[in-house]
């Protein structure tokens, strides 16, 4: 919500500050782990793969360090132009961070997707990479032990750590290990900031999350949201007016999102409004429109309009 600090601060002896990112197949728990580290809901999560589309940063403030976590979309073999953009976003992120957390879930066998990522990681060998076995609460001790061995065979890692973001098991250890690879330096963001994602993008993500609720099977990746305007109401400092568009790819999807006589869209609006009010700490008037942007996932111009840049 604010940009990196420009005012000089007094350096603190031994203080570390820098960037880390989590990488892994879609749905392995990267966003949930980042939220557990930051201690606040910053990235949206869902049980559908590929919920994350932007490199959202969560900022962990500690007495000894400031760790800025860049959340990446799940890396996968691109099938659509959207997929290609996501993958190039992930690759550029990998070369810009001080440490990488490679996430593999404890409850699923290692597959071609994990090996594909391990090969990608082998190409950025200079960045220290921590292997993280996620969701240990869903696996037995034996399965976790077995998975730690299997993950170790995938590449060169500075450490291999089992973790559960749900019950908090070793989340702090992941934080400690990532921090140990950051350079010494002053804090990059003011204390109290949890993310530098522009508020408008966070609001759009909350609306998208609400719009996906209940229709994920019908419209897995076809919904995009753009916030057109977000302004405090004149003479009402406690109220923010938000005008947003929900984009779908086809008219049939528009009907699903709107529902009978607009009933579903009203529910989406109510759900999103509650979340946005919690985020902004003010009352919100939310105006939601649904529009068709034909085949936007495959159209470079539409992608740019919806905020997915090269």
Ligand X SMILES: Nc1nc2c(ncn2[C@@H]2O[C@H](COP(=O)(O)OP(=O)(O)OP(=O)(O)O)[C@@H](O)[C@H]2O)c(=O)[nH]1
User: Residue 133, CB half-sphere, CA atoms under 13 Å: how many?
Assistant: 26
Q: Of 20-39, which residues contact ligand X (CB under 6 A)?
A: 24, 26-32
Q: Which range of residues in 41-49, 58-66, 81-89, 263-271 is near ligand X by CB under 6 A?
A: 41-49
Q: Which two tokens stand for residue 222?
A: 């076809």
The interface with ligand X within residues 77-106 (CB under 6 A) comprises none
> Residues 73, 101, 162, 187: which binds ligand X (CB under 6 A)?
73
Q: Cα(258)–Cα(268) distance, rounded to whole angstroms?
A: 9
Considering only residues 5, 46, 127, 180, which one is a binding residue for ligand X as defined by CB under 6 A? Answer: 46
73 has binding-site annotation: yes
Q: Please name the residues in contact with 27: beta carbons below 8 A apart, sequence gap of 6 or more.
A: 47, 48, 49, 50, 74
Among 18, 19, 52, 194, binds ligand X (CB under 6 A): 52
31 is in an annotated binding site: yes
The verdict on 155 binding ligand X (CB under 6 A) reads no
Does residue 134 touch ligand X according to CB under 6 A?
yes
Least distance (Å) between residue 3 CB and ligand X? 25
Which residues on neighbouring strands pair with residue 190, listed in sequence order? none
230: which residues sit within 8 A by CB, 6+ positions away?
A: 199, 200, 203, 240, 241, 242, 243
The single residue listed with the structure tokens 């109220």 is 239
As measured in angstroms, the least distance from the Cβ of 106 to ligand X is 9
Are the C-beta atoms of residues 25 and 76 closer than 8 Å to each other? yes
Q: In this structure, are residues 186 and 65 in contact, taking their beta carbons and an 8 Å threshold? A: no
113 binds ligand X (CB under 6 A): no
Q: Which residues bind ligand X (CB under 6 A)?
A: 24, 26-32, 45-47, 49-52, 73-74, 134-135, 137-138, 164-166
């Amino acid at each position: 919500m604010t940009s990196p600090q420009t005012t000089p601060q007094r350096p603190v002896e031994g203080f570390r500050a820098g960037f880390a990112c989590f990488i892994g197949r879609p749905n392995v728990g990267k966003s949930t782990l980042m939220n557990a580290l930051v201690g606040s809901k910053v990235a949206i999560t869902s049980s559908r793969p590929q919920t994350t589309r932007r490199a959202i940063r969560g900022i962990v403030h500690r007495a000894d360090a400031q760790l800025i976590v860049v959340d990446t979309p799940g890396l996968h073999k691109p099938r659509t132009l959207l997929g290609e953009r996501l993958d190039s976003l992930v690759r550029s992120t990998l070369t810009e961070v001080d440490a990488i957390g490679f996430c593999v879930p404890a409850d699923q066998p290692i597959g071609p997707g994990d090996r594909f990522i391990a090969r990608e990681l082998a190409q950025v060998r200079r960045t220290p990479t921590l292997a993280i076995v996620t969701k240990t609460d869903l696996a037995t001790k034996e399965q976790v032990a077995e998975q730690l061995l299997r993950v170790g065979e995938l590449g060169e890692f500075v450490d291999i750590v089992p973790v559960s973001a749900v019950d908090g098991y070793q989340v702090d250890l992941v934080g400690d290990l990532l921090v140990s690879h950051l350079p010494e330096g002053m804090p990059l963001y003011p204390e109290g900031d949890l993310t530098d994602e522009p508020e408008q993008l966070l609001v759009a993500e909350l609306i998208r999350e609400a719009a996906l609720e209940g229709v994920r099977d019908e419209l897995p990746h076809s919904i995009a949201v753009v916030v057109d305007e977000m302004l405090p109401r004149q003479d009402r400092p406690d109220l923010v007016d938000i005008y947003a568009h929900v984009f779908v790819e086809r008219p049939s999807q528009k009907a699903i999102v709107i529902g009978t006589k607009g009933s579903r869209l009203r529910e989406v609006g109510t759900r999103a409004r509650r979340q946005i009010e919690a985020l902004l700490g003010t009352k919100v008037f939310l105006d939601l429109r649904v529009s068709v942007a034909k085949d936007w996932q495959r159209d470079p111009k539409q992608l740019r309009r919806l905020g997915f840049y090269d």
